[in-house]
Amino acid sequence: MLLLWDVFVRVMQLPPYLLPGPLLVLQTLIEEWPQLFPSMLITLQITVVAFIAATLSGLAIAILFTQSKWIERSFFPYAVILQTTPIVAIAPLIIIWLKNNTFAALVVCAWIVAFFPIVSNTTLGLKSADHNLRNLFQLYGASRWQTLWYLRLPSALPYFLGGLRISGGLALIGAVVAEFVAGTGGARSGLAYQILMSSYNLQIPRMFAALLLTTVLGVLIFVGLTLLSDFLLRHWHESVIKRED
């Protein structure tokens, strides 16, 4: 694909301000590294904090949902509303509410995007424990929390890890979108600000370099969570055992 990209640019003789070639993007990335790398760290920091918050809150709320059908029916629609509301529409309002703490506002926006997959997947996993095993736990007089710890949570682990893989990328998307809306500059600017400024100044190779860093960051997050999932499921879950065979 990189070769086709380079050949297309050369054959069509496209100027760099329309579509730079991959070699020019790589050269720009090396030259602009002192400016782009700190911005990448800021975006990564927002993504990680939002992802951890989404993981902890999503897991806790999913456990709460499975303890009572009334709680789930009452509050699950609000989680759906958070998922279906465009973050671009509500991000300005969140930034206004938290105007004294831009970092917290960006984290909240990214958390909203990453929250729902963990809640929905984990709730489904907790409710998918084998019915016969639940009857066996009940027969032996296991408490609700013993059933949760020894049966429901292990059964929900593949679903939970699947939600993590989805939410990791969504947290990055939410962080970038929130940065676009906030338009924060200066020393605390993320990759989205670098992309905006590059596009405004028609520095398209620099914009592609920032996009490349964002893409690489998303791929690394997904690969890391996939490795974590394989590590936790490697000895017992069929999805990993069959793949290893």
Q: Mean pLDDT for each 10-residue chunk of the chain (245 residues)? A: 91 89 93 92 95 95 90 89 85 84 90 94 90 88 87 91 94 91 66 89 92 94 93 72 55
pLDDT at 227: 92
pLDDT at 172: 94
pLDDT at 99: 78
pLDDT at 244: 52
pLDDT at 237: 63
Domain of 229, in residue numbers: 38-233
Q: What is the pTM of this model?
A: 0.88
Q: Residue 148 belongs to a domain with what CATH number?
A: 1.10.3720.10
Is there a domain that residue 133 lies in? yes
CA distance 179 to 185: 9
Is there a domain that residue 21 lies in? no
pLDDT at 144: 85
Is there a domain that residue 78 lies in? yes
pLDDT at 101: 84
Is there a domain that residue 112 lies in? yes
Can you give the length of the chain in residues? 245
Q: How many domains does the chain have?
A: 1
CA distance 88 to 45: 20
DSSP state of 129: S
Is there a domain that residue 25 lies in? no
pLDDT at 233: 84
Is there a domain that residue 4 lies in? no
pLDDT at 238: 62
pLDDT at 187: 47
pLDDT at 188: 61
Helix, strand or coil, per DSSP, at residue 27: helix
pLDDT at 107: 94
Cα angle value 150/56/173 (rounded, 5°): 130
Is there a domain that residue 171 lies in? yes
Is there a domain that residue 5 lies in? no
Structure tokens, 57? 């809150």
Find where tokens 């990335």 sit.
Answer: 29
Alpha-helix residue ranges (DSSP H) falling in 22-143:
22-31, 33-67, 69-84, 87-97, 102-127, 131-139
